[in-house]
Structure 1
Amino acid sequence: MKPKLLLILIPFLLLLSCTKQTEKSAPDIKGEIVNMEGDVTLAGKSTKIGDPVSDESVIQTGADGYCEIQFLDSNIIRVFEDSIIRISFSNSTVSLDRGAAAAVLRNLSSLIQTMDDVFTIKSGTVVAGIRGTSFYVKREDADTSYFCLCNGKIHLSDGNDQFSKDLESTHHLAVRISEKNRQLEVSNAPMLYHSDKDMEDLAGVIGQKMDWNAVESYH
């Protein structure tokens, strides 16, 4: 069986207690559906604007649906049509199982206490980690994912230290990651599926602006 591409947003939770470093208990964080249209379900049930998004929630959109989830005031995720994401605040993860999503993240300090990567794409032993604030990601098929670093930093690597690359961008740097015959292929890609206005509008929902002249990194 081929390893599946997993797209996971992972801010690690650590806390120093006295002189011993221990794993931090997750704060009681909930998101909220702030915009939506069409067919959207939350935990298998129809949802509406204003509904809370709890820990370990599964959000699914239909062919005509989308929704936007805000959490910790200055973070927002847009789930595009025909998509499935899983959100775990306790593990600080957002996993894209199908479809596409975009995010503007400006306030993760309550979720992460270190400078570890906050967004990863995993395929077998290969990891793409990002410390930037804005991205777009799409599962093009079972073995191929498109990722655009709209603004920020990304680190591509594998678990065997055979491949490692750091990227940063002020204005959309895209790659396509695919796995064929158990071999990973990473190639440059054009800007697809989204626009400057899409990201600017998403940032505007949480009262933020996109700065296309500087590499931003928020924790």
Structure 2
Amino acid sequence: MTQHQLQGRSEKEILWFQRRDTLKAAAAWVAMGGLPAAMAQQRSNIVELRGDALINGNRLQNGQTIMTGDQLQTGPGSNLMFVIGNSAFQVRENSVITVERGTTLNTVSLLRMITGAVVSVWGKGSSRSIIMPTLTAGIRGTGVYAEVFPSQGNRSYFCNCYGTVDMESNGQRTLSQSSYHQAFWGEVEPRDGRQLTPANAINHTDEELEFLAGLVGQQTAWQIAGRKGVKDGRGYMDPQPPAQQYPAQTPVVR
């Protein structure tokens, strides 16, 4: 089990992937052929739903299908895991999100986060984004963790756990290329002239990303490499020279 830092989240919530029922549900999903089989057999794309959740204002039931265009809201203590296209999502408790349609009904073009937190793995593709109150991330095929902090004025946290992401916050842009957790804050107000500032890797684990990647037939960057880096939020598999800065510290580009 990899080490992880918590900020406003409980250990139990982060370790959802260790539950026996969750492991059984994921194994059954993969054994039955994943999303293609679910679509062909007109089965649900919900891998697991624990607790209460709403879909477009109505109670979400196991066996329903989540489609692009739907708004989802999870209640206290709930956990929602589902797959659309080549992307897998785990929605934390007390979250409100919308999954918007891409080029096809089974492609997510946009994940709009109003509040809460989501772990997600995205297969390769174009024109896909996560929009948060103070940050926008253009996804190219990656695994990420995103969380909104209402107690900090909806300050947005984003970790590019692996892959390439185009980052933007109030006109400031940067490119994030990560092999092992590159994290940012999208600030409500600029800090030292910056809207995107450095962050630690908080509130998510390697195992969560590995779990979701497995649902869509993928592997994380560290699984492919067979090794891990230092989980300090800088995003590198290997220690970098002190002079090398990561994107949240490079000169502002507008």
**CA gap 1:89/1:153 in 2 versus in 1, 3 angstroms:** same
Bigger strand fraction: 1
Quote the residue 2:121 is aligned against: 104
The Cα of 1:158 is off from its aligned counterpart by 6.0
Q: What is the TM-score of this pair, normalised by structure 1?
A: 0.68
* TM-score, normalised with respect to structure 2: 0.60
2:111 equivalent to 1:94: yes
Runs of 4+ in structure 1 off by over 6 angstroms are none
Tell me the amino acid that sits aligned with residue 56 of structure 2.
Answer: A
Q: CA deviation at 1:186?
A: 1.8
Higher helix share: 2
Pairwise mapping of residues 1-219 of structure 1 onto structure 2 (< 5 A)? 32-72=45-85, 74-89=86-101, 92-106=109-123, 108=125, 112=126, 116=127, 118-121=128-131, 127-141=136-150, 142-157=153-168, 163-180=172-189, 185-212=195-222
1:40 and 1:210, CA in 2 relative to 1: closer, same or farther beyond 3 A?
same
C-alpha distance in 2, partners of 1:157/1:90? 20
Relative contact order (C-alpha < 8 Å, sep 6+): which is higher? 1
* Structure 1: runs of 5+ lacking an equivalent: 1-29
The residue number in structure 2 matching 1:10 is none
Shift of 1:105: 1.3
Amino acid at match of 2:96: I
CA displacement at 1:77 relative to structure 2: 1.2
The number of residue pairs the alignment matches comes to 175
The Cα RMSD (Å) is 2.9
Q: Deviations over 1:63-115 (max 9, x none)?
A: 1111112112x32111111101112215722211110011111254xxx5xxx
- Post-superposition CA distance 1:192-218 (Å, at most 9, x none): 000101111122233332232569xxx
Q: CA deviation at 1:42?
A: 1.4
Question: What secondary structure, in the 3-state scheme, does the structure 1 residue paired with 2:221 have?
Answer: coil
TM-aligned CA distance change 1:204 to 1:184, over 3 Å: same
Cα deviation, residue 144, structure 1? 0.4
Query: Following the alignment from structure 1 to structure 2, what is the Cα–Cα distance between the partners of residues 33 and 201?
Result: 15
| Cα distance change on mapping 1:123 and 1:52 into 2, 3 Å | closer
